[in-house]
Structure 1
Amino acid sequence: MGLRSGSARQLAHFLVSKPCAVRSLIVSQTKMITAYGKNGDVQKAIELFEQMPHRNQVSYNAMLSVLLDSGRLGSALQLFEEMPRKNAWSYTSMIAGLSRSGHVREARQLFDSIPPSDRNVFSWTAMISCYAQNNEPHRAVSLFSGLYRELFESKVIPNSYTLSVVLKSCGCIRSLVAVRQIHSLTLKLLDEAGEGSVFAQNALIDVYAKLDCLHDAEHVFNRMKWKDLASRNIMMDAYAHNLLLDQAFKIFNSMNERDTLSWNIMMSGLLEGRRGLEALRLFLSLLRLGHDTKPNLSTYTIILTACATHTMLEFGRQIHGHTVKNSLYPNNIFVSNSLVTMYANCGLMEDSLQVFKEMPKKDVISWNSVIHGLGKNGHAQKALEIAEKALASNNFNGNTFSAILTSCSHGGLVVDGLDYFNSMSRKYGIEPTLDHYICAVDMLGRAGMLKEAHDLLRSMPFAANSVAWSTLLNACSIHGSLNIGRVAAQELQMLETDNTKSYLGLANIYCRTETGRESRELLNLLREKGIVKELGSSWVVEI
């Protein structure tokens, strides 16, 4: 700068006499503050800012941004209050910072204090996003609709990002009417051919699909004149979620560019559509690419689930090795939980327990997975030991008790199971759901306590569904309980008139109880209705 030394007075005199030099110095120092912030040297940025002989609005905003990005909300608020002048950028940044810290009320107070001259689409969008990001979608939609007319008259027009946030909020409150209104507004305000409208159009595809309006999602997608990678991923995910896998593959195969999410969507869809082996083959194709598109932790979780579903132990072991090589095991909790389940499904509880023990951090899913695996593999007592540790360490939820009751059911531990069932609400604050009652009915039914199972089913605070009655009917079929079996079969027939389980279950009970005439009549009825042609010898006895 031409000055190597000198007093502060000389420097000040120089700057006053050289306004260009002042501006140049401010610009230079502001850039340095921003660079320090990006490099994580927040303290150096603060020291430089405090030493600046002159500051302008840009330098104040730069320092505010550094403080907010580093999570120093208190310091940012203090600086914000000290700013001699604030502009729209200052308010917007502060609202976004408060939003990230969950201070929604303070953000709204700040938004309401913005002078009309500084209120623009960015501050408006920031406040809408604040509500959306902090699980208050109703308020996000309300703020948009409440201020739309006023701001529109001030020529503050919502942009594509504003509309996309509002659309996601409409989806969260499941208001199809509001979505259609925003859709109409999008057509009115945005140029559909422009790249800038893609955010709103992608949001429309996503929200329509999540509200089960797949035709509307397709209509938006097909009309888009410019599609990005996200557009194709969102539409592909909509098809995959609805198990329209051929349509999903059509988009996948047409993509010139794919990211890891594209592959994950297809693998997840195949897995959900019970085509797990195809998902595994697709995973192998991804591995062979050998470029920047590589599996991530979601990929490994999906594939480990496929291995668990198809009990493909050797393939699962290879995936385990990949996760170690890519530093995802044992530190990544999602991958480790998937490995616990995979080994348990393959019947290797020692390996499952070893993965569980090696996890540096465990969540509720970790505990539930190992409890369920132990119970399913005949280690009911060990499952209850682990369950007690989970309950004592406050690592439990409703699914924990489902796993406990299932373990007791498979292990014949009826007394223990009833104790856990009766203590759920009283001791642990978990209200039993329909699934818990069905688990308890199954436990009693397996033990031959059919009257108790039937009484529990009838005492439920919920209407029994087909799963509940089918569970009781199966128990009656195993233990040959004709009277209760008839009741269960009748209830199941009323709920699902075309379901053959009720007929077949009742026929099996007739066979077991040697009521040959009733069995023949029922089997003839099944033949007349075309429900069965030939009856398998696995359940028909000679009559």
Structure 2
Amino acid sequence: MVYALTAFSSQFLTRKDPIVDFQENPKTLILERCKTSKELNQVHAHLIKTRRLHHPAVAEPLLESAALVLPYPAIDYAVSIFRKLENPDSSAYNVMIRGFNKRQSPEKSLLLFRQMVEHSVRPDVFTFPSVLKACSKLRALREGEQIHAHIVKLIDRFGCKEFVENSLLYMYACCDRLELARQVFDGMSERSPIAWNSMFAGYVRCGYWAEVVELFQSMLKMGIEFNEVTLITVLTACGKIGDLELGNWIYEYVLANGLMGNDNLITSLVDMYGKCGCVDTARSLFDNMSTRDVVAWSAMISGYSHSNRCKEALALFHDMQKANVEPNEVTMVSVLSSCAFLGALQTGKWVHSYIKKKNLKLTINLGTTLVDFYAKCGCPDRAIEVFKEAPYKNVWTWTALIQGLASNGRGKSALEFFNMMRQEKVEPNDVTFIGVLAACSHAGLVDEGWGYFFSMSRDFGIEPRIEHYGCVVDMLGRAGMIEEAYEFIKNMPIKPNAVIWRTLLASCRVHKLVEIGEEALKHALRLEPAHSGDYILLSNLYASVGRSDDAARLRDEMKTHGIKKSPGCSYIELDGIIHEFLAEDDKHPESQEIYNAIENTMAQIKLAGYVPDKAQARLEAEGDDREASVSHHSEKLAIAFGLIRTSPGATIRVTKNLRICTDCHNAARVTSKVFCREIVVRDRSRFHHFKDGSCSCNDFW
């Protein structure tokens, strides 16, 4: 680093009334007298007249007043004083180095230290912490290592080595050289809480959360005292790695030592419990806080979002607004993630408008979350717009868009953006390739998919994970290459999981290949015996080829083994309110009107060719109840509510927690044509955009 210090001209004011003589130690008098720039000028003029300016005991406090004490540091004025000193000592250099640090000019601090060495002025114990602080701010590792060499030569002469060592440790931590920071830390003869916290801060900076916990455990074993700053850091690490046991220990410590009044500490506990899935414990702590700042609100909202209790997250966000607490970036990310999970498009749009209105900085994290939100609400075009408008992008922003386009059936667009990503020299990661392979699957691009799959390890050094193998199985199954998919699974270098076999089973259902479907079910049940979806897939496969007895037998097996189908749940947002429906639900305040709408809808779409699939009815339903049961699935209730509560032609958007069943898929497809509506259904796997009697998934999902 090469920098230049500039000489600044100064004008000195003269004082009409005489200034009293300075005492032998004039520091206190100078600092007390120089409260403003005008008084500093007058004292400076007096010192020039009396020829005392070059005395170190006088020069140092004058510099300190100019560079550090005045409300608005007159650093340029301090430079002009310093440059006129005949032989500035280490104290004068120290003041100027501290002044440049305070003025956010750490590069000038380093230049001044270099000048100090060149002029053979020996640094003292106060020099190195200040110049190392400049290195920390600049992350100037090379200069920091050179200063370390000076320290090694001189450290035995210092009376307080720990002060210097703490600064050295912090410098290496800021430069992400934690192995060097740890060497300094381990070599310290005495370690104060400051040294421990500097080491903790370094690990936190680099995201080494397990090392934070390990270091704290060592601290406990050695009986080292810790403070509340330490606990806050360790609680953050506990939340990141899910160490609930240590988090509980800290909570008990806080209770036993009367620390419940520390709101920052309680906020960290709220955050830890939220991230560890103990949301109710977090809420209890949150509710009992005396004051709640934006960090506390954000931690609690994030806890709900992290645990997929997204309706509660949005409800708490509304409470936060009522409390007149301004949200920050963390709040917005959690709220948008909750909106994405629920498909709450209108609420998310309001949040986006709020971000614009308040001129919140569109960071990488916030921009990526917005792209993900629009994609997960079935608005791929809006996701593209937000992506293009985002001022900052990283691999996760590109990945969010690629995955979003793939899940919305826009495979070719997803691949176009992947190619653009490569042109921008952004390296894809393993998650990016999940989106790319899914895009190939949705677009039926088998050859291209194989190319990308082999390119992962060959060109990018990314070893395929189980998810990538699953994408290939899905891609082959979609293309009707069931036998190839089966052989691919058998030859995988890693053991296939239940999801792999379930993916193959789903393909067999679509292409009506019973034999391989039965084999897939055996493997899936061996790995996850109680998964109801596997039974239902094969049951539907039997029913589709006319083997109704086998379908019934399989469902009887589910009863015998006590396996119950996971309850389907669908959400629809209207006027900012999330409405939730379960199959055959009658708890909604407008249930009667909804069921009347269902009857009307079913009657009209039957005239257009829809035939109810009674095999999709609940197991215990019999006779005419089977058709009624099918018509009362949660997504049909949500769609019916959308039909009666939105204006003609408006898009209906529904989010389902499970995979949409065959009957509901057929019903939605015909409904879109009969009622001239676009219906967007997001299920557990992907989006279905129904329009004019067809679906974006081409009837394979």
Which residue number in structure 2 is paired with residue 368 of structure 1? 399
Give distance in 2, aligned partners of 1:211 and 1:358: 36
Compared with structure 1, are the counterparts of its residues 357 and 181 closer, same or farther at alpha carbon in structure 2 (3 Å cutoff)?
closer
Judge which range, 234-243 or 83-92, deviates more: 83-92
Task: Please state if 1:467 is matched with 2:499.
Answer: yes
Letter in 1 for 2:414: A
Which residue number in structure 1 is paired with residue 134 of structure 2? 97
> Secondary structure at the residue paired with 2:95?
helix
Which structure is richer in relative contact order (CA contacts within 8 A, separation 6 or more)?
Answer: 2
> Secondary structure at the residue paired with 1:88?
coil
Task: Tell me the CA shift for residue 384 of structure 1.
Answer: 2.2
CA contact (8 A) 1:204 1:220 kept: no
CA contact (8 A) 2:344 2:377 kept: yes
Task: Tell me the CA shift for residue 12 of structure 1.
Answer: 6.9
Which residue number in structure 2 is paired with residue 75 of structure 1? 111
Task: Tell me the CA shift for residue 275 of structure 1.
Answer: 1.8
Which residue number in structure 2 is paired with residue 538 of structure 1? 616
Letter in 1 for 2:514: L
Compared with structure 1, are the counterparts of its residues 373 and 41 closer, same or farther at alpha carbon in structure 2 (3 Å cutoff)?
farther
Task: Tell me the CA shift for residue 439 of structure 1.
Answer: 1.7
Task: Tell me the CA shift for residue 269 of structure 1.
Answer: 0.9
Compared with structure 1, are the counterparts of its residues 178 and 303 closer, same or farther at alpha carbon in structure 2 (3 Å cutoff)?
closer
Letter in 1 for 2:313: A
Letter in 2 for 1:59: A
Task: Please state if 1:87 is matched with 2:117.
Answer: no
- Relative to the length of structure 2, the TM-score reads 0.66
Letter in 2 for 1:347: G
Q: Which has the higher helix share?
A: 1
Give distance in 2, aligned partners of 1:288 and 1:83: 63
Compared with structure 1, are the counterparts of its residues 441 and 102 closer, same or farther at alpha carbon in structure 2 (3 Å cutoff)?
farther
Task: Please state if 1:159 is matched with 2:192.
Answer: yes
Matched ranges for 1:50-65 at <5 A: 50-53=83-86, 55-65=88-98
Give distance in 2, aligned partners of 1:267 and 1:91: 44
Gaps of 5+ in 1: 153-157, 191-196
Compared with structure 1, are the counterparts of its residues 525 and 76 closer, same or farther at alpha carbon in structure 2 (3 Å cutoff)?
farther
**1:487-537 deviation line (CA, Å, top 9, x unaligned):** 333333333344334444344444444555654554333222211499983
Among candidates 153, 162, 165, match of residue 121 of structure 1: 162
Among candidates 220, 223, 244, match of residue 256 of structure 2: 223
Letter in 2 for 1:537: A
Give distance in 1, aligned partners of 2:309 and 2:120: 60
Task: Please state if 1:404 is matched with 2:436.
Answer: yes
Judge which range, 243-252 or 108-117, deviates more: 108-117
Task: Tell me the CA shift for residue 276 of structure 1.
Answer: 1.5
Which residue number in structure 2 is paired with residue 439 of structure 1? 471
Compared with structure 1, are the counterparts of its residues 523 and 35 closer, same or farther at alpha carbon in structure 2 (3 Å cutoff)?
same
State the percentage of identical aligned residues.
Answer: 25
Give distance in 1, aligned partners of 2:175 and 2:401: 33
Give distance in 1, aligned partners of 2:53 and 2:129: 35
Give distance in 1, aligned partners of 2:335 and 2:558: 42
Gaps of 5+ in 2: 1-12, 17-40, 568-613, 623-701
**1:108-164 deviation line (CA, Å, top 9, x unaligned):** 4355344233443332222333344344445544543343xxx24xxxxx3323223
Which residue number in structure 2 is paired with residue 193 of structure 1? none
Letter in 1 for 2:132: I
Compared with structure 1, are the counterparts of its residues 501 and 130 closer, same or farther at alpha carbon in structure 2 (3 Å cutoff)?
farther
Compared with structure 1, are the counterparts of its residues 285 and 469 closer, same or farther at alpha carbon in structure 2 (3 Å cutoff)?
same
> Secondary structure at the residue paired with 1:537?
helix
CA contact (8 A) 2:517 2:538 kept: yes
Compared with structure 1, are the counterparts of its residues 467 and 530 closer, same or farther at alpha carbon in structure 2 (3 Å cutoff)?
same
Matched ranges for 1:34-433 at <5 A: 34=68, 45-53=78-86, 55-68=88-101, 69-72=104-107, 74-81=110-117, 82=119, 84-100=121-137, 101-103=139-141, 105-106=145-146, 108-116=148-156, 117-147=158-188, 151-152=189-190, 158-167=191-200, 169=203, 172-174=209-211, 178-185=215-222, 187-189=223-225, 197-209=227-239, 210=241, 212=243, 213=245, 214-227=247-260, 228-290=262-324, 293-328=325-360, 331-398=362-429, 399-433=431-465
Which residue number in structure 2 is paired with residue 155 of structure 1? none
CA contact (8 A) 1:208 1:216 kept: no
> Secondary structure at the residue paired with 2:317?
helix
Letter in 2 for 1:484: I
> Secondary structure at the residue paired with 1:454?
helix
Letter in 1 for 2:531: N
Give distance in 2, aligned partners of 1:165 and 1:26: 30
Task: Tell me the CA shift for residue 75 of structure 1.
Answer: 0.8
Task: Tell me the CA shift for residue 314 of structure 1.
Answer: 1.8
- Relative to the length of structure 1, the TM-score reads 0.83
Task: Tell me the CA shift for residue 231 of structure 1.
Answer: 0.9
> Secondary structure at the residue paired with 1:394?
coil
Task: Tell me the CA shift for residue 327 of structure 1.
Answer: 1.3
In the alignment of these two chains, the number of paired residues is 519
Letter in 1 for 2:97: L
Give distance in 1, aligned partners of 2:60 and 2:170: 33
Task: Tell me the CA shift for residue 249 of structure 1.
Answer: 0.9
Task: Tell me the CA shift for residue 167 of structure 1.
Answer: 4.8
CA contact (8 A) 2:231 2:250 kept: no
Give distance in 2, aligned partners of 1:172 and 1:139: 18
**1:63-121 deviation line (CA, Å, top 9, x unaligned):** 11344542316414414524623232222223333344151644643553442334433
Give distance in 2, aligned partners of 1:87 and 1:211: 45
Q: CA RMSD in A?
A: 3.7
Compared with structure 1, are the counterparts of its residues 524 and 265 closer, same or farther at alpha carbon in structure 2 (3 Å cutoff)?
same
Letter in 2 for 1:130: M
CA contact (8 A) 1:202 1:231 kept: yes
CA contact (8 A) 2:59 2:92 kept: no
Letter in 2 for 1:71: P
Which is higher, the Rg of structure 1 or of structure 2? 2
Compared with structure 1, are the counterparts of its residues 71 and 492 closer, same or farther at alpha carbon in structure 2 (3 Å cutoff)?
farther
CA contact (8 A) 2:60 2:95 kept: no
Which residue number in structure 1 is paired with residue 599 of structure 2? none
CA contact (8 A) 2:343 2:376 kept: yes
**1:282-327 deviation line (CA, Å, top 9, x unaligned):** 222222333xx42112222222222222222222222122111111
CA contact (8 A) 1:60 1:83 kept: no
Compared with structure 1, are the counterparts of its residues 355 and 57 closer, same or farther at alpha carbon in structure 2 (3 Å cutoff)?
same
Give distance in 2, aligned partners of 1:332 and 1:178: 32
Give distance in 1, aligned partners of 2:309 and 2:615: 30
CA contact (8 A) 2:274 2:282 kept: yes
Letter in 1 for 2:615: S
Compared with structure 1, are the counterparts of its residues 236 and 369 closer, same or farther at alpha carbon in structure 2 (3 Å cutoff)?
same
Give distance in 2, aligned partners of 1:131 and 1:525: 63
Which residue number in structure 1 is paired with residue 489 of structure 2? 457
CA contact (8 A) 2:371 2:401 kept: yes
